[in-house]
Each structure stands twice: as C-alpha cells, then as structure tokens.
Amino acid sequence: MSNSSSQSFVVIGAGHAGGRAVEAMRANGFEGAIHLIGAEQMVPYERPPLSKEMLVDSGVDCPPMHPAEFYTDKDITLHLGVTATDIDGDIRVVKNSDGTQLSYDQLLLCGGGQVRHLAVPGAELANIHTLRTIGDSNAIETLLVPGNSIVIIGGGFIGLEVASAAKSRGCTVTVIEAADRLMGRALPLEIGETFAALHRHHNVDIRLNTGVERFTGDTAVREVITTSGDSVPADGVIVGIGVDPGVTLAQTGNLEVNNGVVVDEFCRTSDPYIYAAGDVTFHFNPLLGRHVRLESWQNAQNQAIAAAANMCGANTVFAEIPWFWSDQFGVNLQMSGAPDVWDDIAIRGNLSGRDGILFQLNEGKLVGAISLNRPRDMRFIKRLMTAGKSPSRDALIDEAITFRELLK
C-alpha cells in the first residue's frame, strides 16, 4: 500500500478476528501505525481448544496465535487489559479505559460477543462459570475432578463439548436445556436427537424442557434447583446459554446496529472510516443473499482478513458459505450453510451410527449440510455449495456417488 506510513489503523478487540486482522494489514503492505486494543491481558488466541483439548486433558495450554515478539517485529502496538469505551466518529478518536485516546484514519471493530449470564437467585455463588476466555477454561478445568457432579446449563455446542470433556474426566454430568431438543438454535431436530442419544449413551443425564429456578450453596454452589422442582447436586456449574454481540461500543459511535454491528459484504459499517469483523457483525453474505450473524472460527478469521485488505485499499467481497465444527465424545460434527428455512431433508449414511450427512433442501436447492464423522466429504460439499451447485436429492443420498464427482 503506497503512502500509508503516516496513517494510523486502530483495531478494537484482540481476539481471533483482531489478531488475524493486524497480521493481514501488514501482509497487505500497510506501513503506518497499528494499535490493537484488547480487554483481555493475553495476546490474541483462538478459542475452540477452550472447550475441547484444554478440558479433555489436564495441563494443555491454549497457544497464542503469534508469540509476543511477532507484534514487536511487525511494529504493532498492543494495548492489553484496556477496554475501548467510546468512539467519536466526527473527529476519529477512540477513548479507552486507561484514559488514553487514539486517533485513527480507519478503525476496525472486532469486539466479539458477550456471554449471557443466568439471572436467578444464587448465580453469584462460586464455581458457577461461563466459558469464553482462557481464564474461564482454566477455572472450569479445576472442577473436572473424578466423581465431581458437573451441571451444564444449556444444551448448545459449548455446553455439550464441556459435558463430553467432563465425562471423559470421570465426572457425573447433567445437562439442563430449556428447549425440547439439543443444539436447537442451529441444527435440525434429527441432529439434536442423535446427539442426545450419544450423550445418554455416555451416561450424561439430559433434561430437556427444563430451566433453572435457583442455585443453592453456602459460598460455593452445591445444588441446582430446576423449574421442575428437582434438586441436582453440583460441585460446579457451567452456564452455556449463548452470546450476545458486543454492540455497546458501536452505539457510542452511532453505528447502525441490528443483531450485531451491521456491515456490508466489504465489511464496512455505516461509517465509511469504520469496519467490523467476526462475531460482532451482522453482515451481508452475497452467497446467501441476506445478513447473518455467525459465531464461528472461519468467519472470525476470514472476515477479518477481508476487512484488513479493504482497509488497505482492496475491494474484496467477503462471501463464504458459513462453516462450523464441534467435537463431542469423539464424534466430529461439521455444518455448512446457515439456512433459516428448509422444506426437505435428505440423509446419506447412518446418523444414529454417527457416520452420515443430513442435507437441508429448500425448493429442491441444497441450503445446508451437517456431517457426522465425514470431514473429507464436507470439504467437497462446501465447495459444491460455494459454487451454487445443487445435486439431485437422489444423488445426495447415494453412497455410490462421490462428492468429488458431483462437483465436476
């Protein structure tokens, strides 16, 4: 990028998207100042291990995305343990919790999401945790002692990954889910039922249609009282009831907000000098033809890279089929697409045997796929969907036809 050395880019949020963005800014030739502001004390890291490897095995650390020297070498100024509190878009200044102010030529918001907490009596007791940071994961790991009773509130991806890890560490595990199915926010009933069977097979006590009335205990939690009136013993509780996009800061800058910071396919907000990427965005996806908010590794990584390129003068459209994975009890789940409606499903293989793929179709068009233990197939299915190809229902379910063939 020419003539960039006198400019300043500020990135708010030193998580997955923020870490990839600053790297991409330098890779795109930006020579000016880069400031990365992060509320956590850590240099950027990726979060998937927090609910997987770090809990399944003891003594596993979460590696940083880059060593600390990377930021020195690339002349990226870190402001860690600092929260950006205010954006003044008129004079292009960010105000921070440590009293500093940073001027920017262009600003990138990567503040991610904020975990929801349960507002019930006893929620302040010790050993009740949410899971978003390395610190959360470390605190949860200390509770995963053989024989301990662990209660998970929320049967979504994170709760179920913790359930799987806790079981593998010899805990007694109960999952309390308010809805009538697991992972119902993101996945069809058939997948929720398959995973309920998987967890029950491993002696996880799954309680659907159940909420939390209160937590009891002296200083630490001892018991969860459910809305059905049951008492579930608890040495530890993990609350995994979702994430809200962190939009408060964007609102100080009068940016358009609607289920996240609204951005277009170029990652631009309603202010021409401000971009956003990652979990915080409600972004237009040209392949889907609508705005979506995603909480996924792929989106955090690649949207951040696209936003950084555009801040450096490119005109990159960010357009990818959404993709997500989860690992529970040795079963690898992957999903492609983020359909809000479908009128038909087709199944290849054997879901209950945890070796198959469920396709979601709408008016005959392939709009989503969820695979169990078929990562290789999923690579081709993602490519099929990106290319807008929609094989026939018969072809999708025929094991004799490979996805490589369907891609031709």
Ligand X SMILES: Cc1cc2nc3c(=O)[nH]c(=O)nc-3n(C[C@H](O)[C@H](O)[C@H](O)COP(=O)(O)OP(=O)(O)OC[C@H]3O[C@@H](n4cnc5c(N)ncnc54)[C@H](O)[C@@H]3O)c2cc1C
Residue 297 interacting with ligand X (CB under 6 A): yes
> Distance (Å, rounded) from C-alpha 193 to C-alpha 183?
9
Residue 48 interacting with ligand X (CB under 6 A): yes
Binder among 23, 271, 295, 320 for ligand X (CB under 6 A): 295
Residue 39 interacting with ligand X (CB under 6 A): yes
Among residues 180, 171, 165, which one has the least CA distance to residue 326?
165
Residue 16 interacting with ligand X (CB under 6 A): yes
What are 87's strand-pairing partners?
A: 94
Residue 12 interacting with ligand X (CB under 6 A): yes
Residue 246 interacting with ligand X (CB under 6 A): yes
Quote the least distance from Cβ 129 to ligand X, whole Å: 11
Count of alpha carbons within 13 Å of 259, Cβ hemisphere only? 8
> Distance (Å, rounded) from C-alpha 291 to C-alpha 260?
10
> Distance (Å, rounded) from C-alpha 193 to C-alpha 250?
39
Judge residue 119's burial from the number of C-beta atoms within 10 Å of its C-beta, 0-12 exposed, 13-18 middle, 19 or more buried. exposed
Among residues 139, 121, 130, which one has the least CA distance to residue 55?
139
- Identify which range of 217-225, 251-259, 293-301, 361-369 contacts ligand X by CB under 6 A: 293-301
Residue 144 interacting with ligand X (CB under 6 A): no
Q: For 128, which DSSP code?
A: E
Residue 50 interacting with ligand X (CB under 6 A): yes
Quote the least distance from Cβ 364 to ligand X, whole Å: 28
> Distance (Å, rounded) from C-alpha 305 to C-alpha 273?
17
Residue 102 interacting with ligand X (CB under 6 A): no
- Identify which range of 140-148, 319-327, 365-373, 384-392 contacts ligand X by CB under 6 A: 319-327
Quote the least distance from Cβ 15 to ligand X, whole Å: 2
- Identify which range of 34-42, 148-156, 284-292, 307-315 contacts ligand X by CB under 6 A: 34-42
Rounded to the nearest angstrom, the gap between the alpha carbon of residue 92 and the centroid of all alpha carbons in its chain is 29
- CB closer to ligand X out of 192 and 246: 246
- CB closer to ligand X out of 26 and 393: 26
- CB closer to ligand X out of 246 and 356: 246
Rg of the Cα trace of the chain? Answer: 22
Residue 302 interacting with ligand X (CB under 6 A): no
Q: Measured between alpha carbons, how far is residue 339 from residues 4, 208, 344, 359, 401 in Å?
A: 41, 24, 12, 11, 24
* Residue 95 structure tokens: 């105000």
Residue nearest to ligand X (CB): 15
Binder among 326, 328, 360, 371 for ligand X (CB under 6 A): 326
Question: Binding string, 53-92, against ligand X, x = CB under 6 A?
Answer: ------------------------------xx--------
For residues 135, 137, 143 and 146, what is the CA-based torsion angle, rounded to 10 degrees?
Answer: -150
* Backbone phi, psi, residue 266, to 5°: -100, 10
Which residues would be at the binding site for ligand X (CB under 6 A)? Answer: 12-18, 37-40, 47-48, 50-51, 83-84, 110-112, 131-132, 158, 246, 249, 278-280, 295-298, 300, 324-326
